[in-house]
Amino acid sequence: MSILRIALLSLIILSVMFSAAFAIKHMPEERGKTLFNDPKFAGGTKACNECHPNGRGLEKAADKKEFNIMGKTQKSLEEAVNFCIVNANKGKTIGVKSKQMKDIVAYIKSLKGKVPAAEKPMK
């Protein structure tokens, strides 16, 4: 194989690796996680992560039809997210169909089935 071919081949391999890393970083749940950990998300003053460390307590949220947060009922996951944005983060509601909402929901869905750290059985 000529030097040129080897160089070209390495270039192709490198670019495939980079674009794969780029794609993973830009998956909806990754973007949602970034928002989840951002105290300024939706104009708030607190990150979701402060009360739900690593998403704790939201592992079952993806399958729920009704939520009850701070004595109030929410009829959808989006409504629950907005409820926490306003009442916990002190921010402003985001559109139910907005990209940010889709990303946050994707992150919450990615938590499904994860065992909360505090509830893991001791060995």
Exposed/middle/buried for residue 58 (C-beta within 10 Å: 0-12, 13-18, 19+)? buried
Q: Nearest distance from residue 74's CB to ligand HEC, in Å?
A: 8
Residues in the chain: 123
Among 11, 16, 23, 50, binds ligand HEC (CB under 6 A): 50
> Is 101 a binder of ligand HEC (CB under 6 A)?
no
Query: Using the rule CB under 6 A, is 94 a contact of ligand HEC?
Result: no
Integer Cα distance of 67 and 74 in angstroms: 5
> Residues 4 to 43: which contact ligand HEC by CB under 6 A?
none
C-alpha 65/C-alpha 47 separation (Å) is 24
Minimum CB distance to ligand HEC, residue 77 (Å):
6
Distances (CA, A) of 64 to 40, 61, 91: 27, 5, 24
Among 31, 33, 78, 88, binds ligand HEC (CB under 6 A): 88
Q: With binding defined as CB under 6 A, does residue 72 bind ligand HEC?
A: no
